[in-house]
Chains A and B, each alone.
Chain A
Amino acid sequence: MSPTPREYNKMSEKAAPNSKLWKNVGMAFLVGGLICTIGQGILSWTQWLGLSQEEGGAVTSIALIFLSALLTGLNRYDDLAKHAGAGTLVPITGFANSMVSPALEFKREGLILGVGAKMFSIAGPVILYGISASVLYGLIIALFH
């Protein structure tokens, strides 16, 4: 009399508590927006210093990545992310955290196969498919324009 996998899947979906969607979305909006606002602060400052748009953008990224790496090293980024969810995942700080956290975590496995290899375990696919998409785009414009 045991249920079929399909019936059981329904049972288990019913038994699972719902995540608090609106609270989570609100937190993601707030924290994500705030990180972007900090980014805007740095960007505006670089423009005030007279840097070009491109240079300013690079400095902004570097500064945010530095802050993310620092908070990750101090074991604070994950505490923030627990509440912020996508708010700390989607900004460039989340990308930095995805590289810094495995590097730190797998330190015990050595500098080569630990830090070196594991650093890309989460961010690797992001870089790979981002670059691949850009190459595809480049081919299209090079061949058809």
Chain B
Amino acid sequence: MAVKTGNYTYLLENTPSVLSFGAVGSKKESEGPLGQYFDVINPDSTFGENSWEKAESKMVQISVEKALSKGHFEPEQIDMAFAGDLLNQCIGSVYGLRDLGIPFVGLYGACSTMAESLALAALFVDTAIAKRALAVTSSHFCSAERQFRFPLEYGGQRPPTSQWTVTGSGACVVGESDTAPYVRAVTIGCIEDLGIKDANNMGAAMAPAAAKTIARYLADTRTRPEDYDLILTGDLGQVGSALLEQLLEQEKIHLQGRHQDCGLLIYDRQQQDVHAGGSGCGCAASVLCSFILPKIRKGTLGDVLFVATGALMSPTSSMQGESIPGVAHLVHLSSSRRRKGVE
């Protein structure tokens, strides 16, 4: 049963497992350094659909099907689905899960949604409310561009701080099992806003939330960065990653090369013209489900803090000149059930 420790963190005493997982991407993702690890790559980013929104839903459907089939599950065996994406009213998730008949909880945490959904799925399983729960998120470059920025054919120039929305989806099935990766703890983040208004610099808007959540988790669990093999943020990109390390330095927390960012892992920034790196719900989700979880399962990665960050603005709030609030949720994933850090 989950127990609260400190002010923000829940220790999952039954350590639920990520039973199976699937990752989907498209052409640009396949050309990046992690291309070979994806379960499904469709170089046609329409995924055979006639709108970008439907293409995104198709990716959700494919990643869920992959996660289910890899674990030999039927949709009826899943008690609850936690899902969300960037589109208005989360239509990517809704239409993607429409035909599966799984009880559905729609979430909006912007790009933090993978950690949010995974945390909730793990909490539901740990407290035995659900036997198996599904966590899935997605993003699509084209559907995000047309909703948040400009039409795709519009001739605009992206500033160097801007990030490239990942066309991808990742899905995890969480349940009780004796196989790694285990979910050991979760920290639900608070909304943090240090006044960044530039929608082309989301990394800077989200970094304070990531710093706060990491610091709170470490304080709550009385552990240090050295107790973990990897502290993996969602999509801070180059600018946000630099700011995160500076913010934590101010709190006397030194990440010492243990920090990586999904937005920097998924693309080759020298070759792929993505400016400050990848972003989107699908960024953290697909990197986690393609590259990180298999390593934890094999044991090549021991303890990982997965900290997905979200920028919680909308086109309306941006137009009204509001600053961009950020949020970050943390999931402690581990290859073993026993805590090796200081209790």
Contact = CB atoms under 8 A, between A and B. Distances in A.
A2 B243 CA distance: 12
B95 to A, nearest CB: 14
Interface in B129-178: 146, 150-161
Interface in B46-99: 50-51
B153, B161, B196, B250, most chain A CB atoms within 10 A = B153
Contact of A12 (B212, B238, B239, B273): B239
A15 B151 CA distance: 29
A104 B239 contact: no
A81 B155 contact: yes
Given A1-B250, A11-B243, A97 B153 contact: yes
B130 to A, nearest CB: 36
A94 B153 contact: no
A88 B239 CA distance: 28
B213 interface: no
Interface string A75-102: 1011011101100110000100110111
Interface stretch (A16-24, A54-62, A131-139): A16-24
B242 interface: yes
B49 to A, nearest CB: 10
Nearest to B197: A9
A126 interface: no
Interface string A10-38: 01100111110000100000000000000
Q: Secondary structure of the A side of the interface?
A: helix
B20 interface: no
Contacts of B251: 1
B134 to A, nearest CB: 29
B266 to A, nearest CB: 19
Interface residues of B, number: 35
A8 B250 contact: no
Contacts, number: 105
A136 to B, nearest CB: 26
A5 interface: yes
A108 interface: yes
Contacts of A5: 194-195, 323
A3 B153 contact: no
Nearest to B159: A19
B34 to A, nearest CB: 23
Contacts of A106: 146, 151
Q: Secondary structure of the B side of the interface?
A: loop
A97 B154 contact: yes
A127 B242 CA distance: 42
A51 interface: no
B223 interface: no
B207 to A, nearest CB: 8
A89 B155 contact: yes
Contacts of A85: 157
A3 B247 CA distance: 8
Contact of A78 (B155, B212, B323): B155
B246 interface: yes
B157 A16 contact: no
B160 A3 contact: no
B263 interface: no
B208 interface: yes
Contacts of A113: none
Contact of A102 (B151, B158, B273): B151
A16 B160 contact: yes
Given A3-B247, A16-B160, A17-B161, A94 B194 contact: no
B204 interface: yes
Interface of B: 50-51, 146, 150-161, 194-196, 201, 204, 207-208, 211-212, 238-239, 242-243, 246-247, 250-251, 273, 276, 323
23 contacts: A1-B250, A2-B250, A4-B194, A5-B195, A8-B208, A9-B195, A12-B243, A15-B242, A15-B243, A16-B160, A16-B204, A72-B155, A75-B152, A78-B155, A82-B155, A82-B273, A85-B157, A100-B153, A101-B150, A101-B153, A102-B151, A102-B154, A108-B51
